[in-house]
Amino acid sequence: MKTWFNTVLAFVVLTSPSFAQGKLNVMTTTEDLASIAREVGGDRISVESIAKGYQDPHFVEAKPSFILKLQKADLLIVVGRELEIGWLPPLQQQSRNGKIQAGGAGYLDASLGAQIMEIPTGQVTRAMAAKSSVDDITLSFDAACALIVSVKAAARVEIIFMGIVL
Amino acid sequence: MVFRRRHAACALSVILAAASPARAQTAQASAEAQALRAAIDGLKRDFDQRLAALETRLAAVESAQQNPPAPAAAAPAEPAAAGTGASVTNAKVFNPDMAVIGDFLGALGRTTPANVGVTPEPLLQMHESEASFQAVVDPYARADFFLSFGEQGVDLEEGFLTFTELPGGLLTKVGKMRAAFGKVNALHNHVLPWTDRPLVINNLVGGEDGISDAGVSVARLIPNPWLFLEATGQVFRGDSGPDENPLYRTSHRGQASFVGHLRGYQDLSESTNIDLGASVSRGYNASGVAEGNDDFTTRLIGLDATLRWRPLQRSIYHSFIARSEVIWSRRDQPSGLQSGSGFYVSADYQFARRWFAGVRFDGSDRADNAALRDTGGSAILTFWPSEFSQVRGQYRRTNYAIGPAANEVLFQFQFAIGAHGAHPF
């Protein structure tokens, strides 16, 4: 019985796409980050975004199918600034993947070090949402920000590659 | 003498003629050097200016970090020129996410007769105020605390530590937690799609308190190429349910309760998914203690199914969720084994960004007397003024096994302040 179970388990692992291709698995929370990662990693990485480009990234559902993808991720790139706070933490926690936990070697917050525009300096309350919807408060990436993210992503990808090779 | 002067003039002319190209080249090189020197000087000046500007900004940021400004009372927010994500994110590194969620409930209409064994809801009540504290403990674990403040006292609804990366892909929790039995038992009040819990939960699974106890939970993903499959095993002290009508009660340490749950999930399409689960639970009940028999047990088996539809491109405007649970209970009683069952079927449709309509049908035997069966139905309308508050009305008709039918209108106001972490899907 145990041998049979191990055989099935080995078959499942060996036939999984990422194992067969030997590529670095990069997950991003949004499509724009996925696009940057593709430019950096080329055909040496496989990239997938959790939120689709036509989806509101504030209201993504934390589907269990994402848990399976995050479990195999070598690198998770997030927009940050708590854009994903409503759905990403449960996915990270349930992924059982220590690399992509906040602070882990495979966790990259794109907002860290990026120039953030229009940071309010006064007191911010939810009452302001009546005047301008909270949905409109988004982080926009300009070319410089994308460059910073890509440089950081490239460095992180290289480090992870080296870790795997060594 | 004249001859000597002439020769001297000729020699000088020859020397000057020969030397003029070299002098021109030297002058050109000198001009290029000066130009390069000027360019370098310009770059130096530009570099020094930029460096000075950066140092000034760095000093300003460090000064702001060391002496954070007091929040202005009612000053309008004005955009600042610059800042990085790191400088803002670090501000809350030592504080957990804190939130309070208020749950105000009202009930109108014919009250439930007191002789049917059901406590009627009061006209108005501040049903619950849930305070949450959530944070990462260290690189290996995170902690979540949920305190429930009622009108009568305070209770620890949940308080547990989660280890996120144990060997073997195990997700382990220790502390007091809601058990992974079915769907509704694990939900906090503020995420329910109704103002109340279905009859089957009230009659067979410990009501609002449910199976919630101090224990250890271990969950593991079962790898397979077809679907998301997760198995969860939980061991609890063995005390669950309200004091007046407990589900499980222990007489000694050897009477722990157990919960097992298997969850399967599959995306049917980009917009549609199905979630199936099977649960078992076993614990000791106190129904025989008065007669000197402390080994009476209660066994539960449950099946749950949830179908979700949410088109991604219009996900904030339209969605549909259908859910159902069926639960069987076998409870030892002094009068004999009581085998009962119950169910609920519910559907909720979001027809606008802030509006939801739903229906629910439910029925259940009573755990301690399976001959008594309650049935009911509800219609629910929910309005979200924002993501942080909701107003809900529910018409509920219940045919209790004893007494006349109860027709009630329940209304609820829920509101959240602070940062409340997301709940599992």
pLDDT at res. B179: 97
Residue A121 domain-assigned (yes or no): no
pLDDT at res. B28: 66
Distance from CA of A158 to the nearest CA of B (A): 22
Residue A16 domain-assigned (yes or no): no
Distance from CA of B232 to the nearest CA of A (A): 12
pLDDT band at B40 (very low <50, low <70, confident <90, very high): confident
pLDDT at res. A146: 59
Instruction: State the average pLDDT over residues B407-419.
Output: 94
Query: Which positions in chain A touch B136 (Cβ < 8 Å)?
Result: 102
Distance from CA of B30 to the nearest CA of A (A): 40
Range of the domain at A106: 21-112+127-165
Which has more confidence, B162 or B23? B162
Instruction: State the average pLDDT over residues A111-139.
Output: 69
Q: What does the mean pLDDT of chain A come to?
A: 76
Tokens of B325: 């649970």
Distance from CA of B420 to the nearest CA of A (A): 9
Q: Cβ of A102 and B273 within 8 Å?
A: no
Residue B160 domain-assigned (yes or no): no
> B294 and B288 in contact (C-beta within 8 Å)?
yes
Task: Give the nearest partner residue to A56 out of B82, B263, B315, using CB atoms.
Answer: B315
Q: What's the structural domain count of chain B?
A: 1
Instruction: State the average pLDDT over residues B87-96.
Output: 65
| pLDDT per residue as tens digits for the range B43-80 | 777 767 777 777 777 666 666 555 544 444 444 444 44
pLDDT at res. A7: 45
Least confident of A41-50, B12-21, B260-269: B12-21
Residue in A31, A26, A33, A24 with CA at minimum distance from that of residue A110:
A33
Residue B294 domain-assigned (yes or no): yes
Enter the ipTM: 0.73
> A32 and A141 in contact (C-beta within 8 Å)?
yes
Instruction: State the average pLDDT over residues B102-107.
Output: 96
Q: Is the pLDDT of residue B90 over 80?
A: no
- Please state, in angstroms and rounded to a whole number, the distance separating the CA atoms of residues B128 and B109: 22
| pLDDT per residue as tens digits for the range A89-121 | 999 999 999 899 988 899 999 998 788 888 888
| pLDDT per residue as tens digits for the range B281-309 | 999 998 888 888 888 999 999 999 999 99
Residue A11 domain-assigned (yes or no): no
pLDDT at res. A20: 46
pLDDT at res. A14: 41
pLDDT band at A165 (very low <50, low <70, confident <90, very high): very low
Q: What's the structural domain count of chain A?
A: 1
Describe the crossing of helices A143-165 and A31-41 by its angle, rounded to 10 degrees: 60
Instruction: State the average pLDDT over residues B351-378.
Output: 95
pLDDT band at B29 (very low <50, low <70, confident <90, very high): low
CB distance from B167 to chain A under 8 Å? no
Residue B323 domain-assigned (yes or no): yes
Pairing of the two strands A75-78 and A24-28: parallel
CB distance from B223 to chain A under 8 Å? yes
pLDDT band at B82 (very low <50, low <70, confident <90, very high): low
Q: Is the pLDDT of residue A137 over 80?
A: no
Residue A40 belongs to domain with CATH number: 3.40.50.1980
pLDDT at res. A126: 82
Which has more confidence, B21 or A157? A157
| pLDDT per residue as tens digits for the range B187-239 | 999 999 999 999 999 999 999 999 999 999 999 999 999 999 999 999 999 99
> B234 and B258 in contact (C-beta within 8 Å)?
yes
pLDDT at res. A8: 42
Residue A113's Cβ-count burial label (10 Å; 0-12, 13-18, 19+) is middle
The residue of chain A with its CA nearest to that of B87 is A112
pLDDT at res. B224: 92
Regarding pTM above 0.95, the answer is no
Task: Give the nearest partner residue to A12 out of B76, B139, B225, using CB atoms.
Answer: B225
Range of the domain at B281: 109-127+165-418
Query: Which positions in chain B touch A86 (Cβ < 8 Å)?
Result: 422
- Report helix, strand or coil for B422: coil
Which has more confidence, B161 or B18? B161
Query: Which positions in chain B touch A148 (Cβ < 8 Å)?
Result: none
Q: Is the pLDDT of residue B120 over 70?
A: yes
Listed as own residue / partner, the contacts of A131-136 with beta carbons closer than 8 Å and 24 or more positions apart are A134/B386, A134/B387, A135/A56, A135/A58
Query: Which positions in chain A touch B85 (Cβ < 8 Å)?
Result: 80-81, 109-114, 116
pLDDT at res. B158: 96
Instruction: State the average pLDDT over residues A133-147.
Output: 47
Task: Give the nearest partner residue to B162 out of A68, A93, A120, using CB atoms.
Answer: A93
Residue B218 belongs to domain with CATH number: 2.40.160.10
| B236 beta partners | B215, B257
Instruction: State the average pLDDT over residues B390-401.
Output: 94
> B299 and B330 in contact (C-beta within 8 Å)?
yes
CB distance from B336 to chain A under 8 Å? no
Q: Is the pLDDT of residue B380 over 60?
A: yes
pLDDT at res. B273: 97
Listed as own residue / partner, the contacts of B38-44 with beta carbons closer than 8 Å and 24 or more positions apart are none
